[in-house]
Amino acid sequence: MSDTRDLDILSAAFHANPFPTLDRMHAAGPVVRLKLPIVGWTWLAVTHDSCTVLLKDHQTFARDPANAGSRTQARILRFLPRTIGLLALNMLGFDDPEHRRLRGLVDQAFQRRTIEALRPMIAEIADRLLDRLQGRAEADLMADFCRDLPLSVICAMLGLPERDHARFRNWLGGLKDTASVGAVIGALPGVIRVVRYLRRVSRPGGGALPEGLVAALRDAAAGGQMLSEDELVSMIFLLFGAGQETTTHLISGAILALLTHENQRSRLAREPDRIADCVEECLRWVSPVQMTKPRFATRDVVWQGRQFRRGDMLAAFLAAANVDSAKFVNPHAFDIARYPNPHLSFGTGAHFCLGFELARMETAIALERLWARFPGMRLVEDKGAIAWRRRLGIRALVRLPVRLAA
């Protein structure tokens, strides 16, 4: 096994070109040990096979550390302000049966048929955002398009009034850097404001639109469907957070991938029916969510040739699984016709992304509408203009400056 102590998965340089580091991970795999900010020493599964087993073997690997004998999280939660502590009460933090109960309440709202019905609404939001760019020579697509589209869509789904969008953007602005304890602490006041807002808005008469998910969940809770007010707020925060940040970085990463691979871009222009395959390849090649939340070994176990103790922490490094040469031919190549494409960008197992249909549709619509409006769009010439954030687990552009006119 090669040395992995100096593996860097945080810096802007890593995010700009992760492939050399991912190759080193594979050389050291199938699981590597890294010291991560905030969480400390963690095992990372880095092959397609090891990530899949880690996320699917729920008997051996639990999501809730309490199910692996660890009381640390429960102790930390007792010390946090209640407003922050309640955020742990969502489906992503639990194992079955709590996980199934919570996910069951929103599953239907994210099924293909329900999401398909949102297509006209999403296209209309995309067009409205692009109207603002009409006539301009240049734009930063990050600030002017990629952030606003997923935010507006998830707010519309949840039934959060449009007049409040600008406030969320300001409150959550501090969460752009999560790579250090200081940055996370600095972001807490904004998070607390959002949680308080969501609590207020989700109460009867609090302002949530009657046709949205917030009102539906509130009615389910009132109808005795085993959902406490804290769980309701935590669920909305999860949907609100997971629904925008991830999709923003998929859309921006996809635009950058197409702008830097002219042959793929012109192929998509010639063969527009490839849009769905193109989005899948963007999910794989960009890997906007690079790693999952941690899992905890429920027992002492020898796995992937290593001894793990009950309570040991492991996570799936999806970005590495997505370029595993045992699974993908020529894995570094960006190929919009790649088939099959069994990427793990949405995870797998019980916690497989709830919003995958929505994210796919939003991204396809974003790419179609953007290029329909600005077919000659290209990156601004200054190479230093593209910058990546220093972040753990999310591949996030700071800005995406483009020339809109040919």
For ligand HEM (CB under 6 A), the number of binding residues is: 25
DSSP 45: E
For ligand HEM, which is the closer residue by CB, 4 or 287?
287
Least distance (Å) from ligand HEM to the CB of residue 185?
A: 23
Residues 6 or more apart whose Cβ sits within 8 Å of residue 223: none
Task: Report the alpha-carbon distance of residue 221 to residue 198 in Å, rounded.
Answer: 15
For ligand HEM, which is the closer residue by CB, 91 or 221?
91
CA 99 to chain centre: 19
Tokens in use for 270? Answer: 């010639």
When binding is defined by CB under 6 A, the residue of 142, 242, 297, 320 that contacts ligand HEM is 242
When binding is defined by CB under 6 A, the residue of 133, 238, 314, 367 that contacts ligand HEM is 238
347 is a site residue for ligand HEM (CB under 6 A): yes
353 is a site residue for ligand HEM (CB under 6 A): yes
- Residues 145-164 as x/- pattern, contact with ligand HEM by CB under 6 A: ---------x----------
Least distance (Å) from ligand HEM to the CB of residue 87?
A: 13
Q: What angle do CA 45, 50, 55 make, to 5 degrees?
A: 85
Q: 275, 371 in Cβ contact below 8 A?
A: no
Which residue has the closest beta carbon to ligand HEM? Answer: 355
**φ, ψ for residue 34 (rounded to 5)?**
-135, 150
CA–CA distances in Å: residue 297 to residues 53, 71, 302, 313, 349: 12, 14, 11, 7, 16
Tokens in use for 251? Answer: 């859309």
Task: Report the alpha-carbon distance of residue 254 to residue 269 in Å, rounded.
Answer: 15
Q: What angle do CA 245, 282, 37 make, to 5 degrees?
A: 45
For ligand HEM, which is the closer residue by CB, 360 or 390?
360
Q: Are strands 40-45 and 313-316 parallel, antiparallel or unpaired?
A: parallel
Task: Report the alpha-carbon distance of residue 401 to residue 398 in Å, rounded.
Answer: 10
212 is a site residue for ligand HEM (CB under 6 A): no
- Residues 103-132 as x/- pattern, contact with ligand HEM by CB under 6 A: x-----------------------------
Q: Which stretches does DSSP call E strand in 37-179?
A: 40-45, 61-62, 138-140
Least distance (Å) from ligand HEM to the CB of residue 63?
A: 7
For ligand HEM, which is the closer residue by CB, 24 or 295?
295
DSSP 319: H
359 is a site residue for ligand HEM (CB under 6 A): yes
Q: Segment near ligand HEM (CB under 6 A), from 126-134, 191-199, 252-260, 343-351? A: 343-351
68 is a site residue for ligand HEM (CB under 6 A): no
Least distance (Å) from ligand HEM to the CB of residue 357?
A: 9
When binding is defined by CB under 6 A, the residue of 54, 142, 239, 367 that contacts ligand HEM is 239
Helix (H) or strand (E) holding 27, with range, is helix 19-28
351 is a site residue for ligand HEM (CB under 6 A): yes
Q: Which residues bind ligand HEM (CB under 6 A)?
A: 55, 91-92, 103, 154, 238-239, 242-243, 246-247, 250, 288-289, 292-293, 345-347, 351, 353-355, 358-359
